[in-house]
Amino acid sequence: MFEDDTLQLPASGLRFGALGKNWLHVCVDMQRMFAEATPWHAEWMPRVLPSVVRLVEQSPERTLFTRFVPPASPDEMGGTWRRYYQRWASMTLDQLGPDMVGLVPELEGYAPPARVLDKHVYSPWFDGGLTRTLQTLPVDTLVVSGTETEVCVLATVLGAIDRGYRVIIAEDAICSSADPTHDAMLGIYHSRFGMQVETAKVAEILEAA
């Protein structure tokens, strides 16, 4: 569909310079229900959590946490989401308990001043909540961290691209439960979105902030 002219770009790094003054860190779904012993446990999360904390503690007031909030029961959802939660009934709020949607303890103390945005699907853009929040702020650049690389992080990134934000993925602060798809997704960011997405280490991002 599109001629790919990004393959000669460096695979990672801040190719378009410093972050500037209008950046926001969107930290995706770093929640207890993914960190603890549940069917959705993301075993990589402890590995990247220190890097996520480094990003947050640099400027908590520039951080927005998203939280994925399941329904109380499958019947609250329509379409294929109902089938999804029939499969994962143990992850509905009635069975999981509301405390499990909270941020991991290492991060919860930063909100406030960090903002928290709840969502019920993969994308934080779906119902306009993130768009409305960003419209109240002078933001042109989004730094993205969190879980999982090829699901909710991807949905966050694609929505940001569509809206014209500069997108920087903190590559050592995102995680997945599967090596092959995590690696493949980073390759796609480099090869197909090279003019719209940058990937960089947390240390480089903080140095350029």
What pLDDT is attached to residue 7? 47
What pLDDT is attached to residue 2? 45
Residue 152 lies in a domain: yes
Say which residue, 3 or 151, is predicted with more confidence.
151
Rounded CA-CA distance 134/115 in Å is: 11
Residue 77 lies in a domain: yes
Residue 28 lies in a domain: yes
Residue 5 lies in a domain: no
Is residue 13 very low, low, confident or very high in pLDDT (cuts 50, 70, 90)? confident
- CA nearest to 95, candidates 33, 30, 45: 33
Q: What is the pLDDT of residues 88-124, one digit of tens each?
A: 999 999 999 999 999 999 999 999 999 999 999 999 9
Residue 9 lies in a domain: no
Q: What are phi and psi of 111, to 5 degrees?
A: -120, 115
Is residue 198 very low, low, confident or very high in pLDDT (cuts 50, 70, 90)? very high
Residue 178 lies in a domain: yes
What pLDDT is attached to residue 12? 79
Residue 18 lies in a domain: no
Structure tokens at 66: 């998203």
Q: What is the mean pLDDT of residues 175-192?
A: 85
What pLDDT is attached to residue 181? 85
Q: What is the mean pLDDT of residues 43-58?
A: 94
Q: What is the pLDDT of residues 94-104, one digit of tens each?
A: 999 999 999 99
Give 96's contacts (C-beta < 8 A, 6+ positions apart): 33, 38, 70, 90
Rounded CA-CA distance 189/153 in Å is: 12
DSSP state of 167: E
What pLDDT is attached to residue 3? 41
Q: For the domain that residue 133 is a member of, what is the CATH number?
A: 3.40.50.850
**Percent of the chain topping pLDDT 70:** 95
Number of domain units in the chain: 1
Q: What are phi and psi of 141, to 5 degrees?
A: -135, 130
Domain that holds residue 154: 23-208
Q: What is the mean pLDDT of residues 166-181?
A: 90
Q: What's the whole-number average pLDDT of the chain?
A: 92
Rounded CA-CA distance 198/166 in Å is: 8
What pLDDT is attached to residue 94? 95
Residue 128 lies in a domain: yes
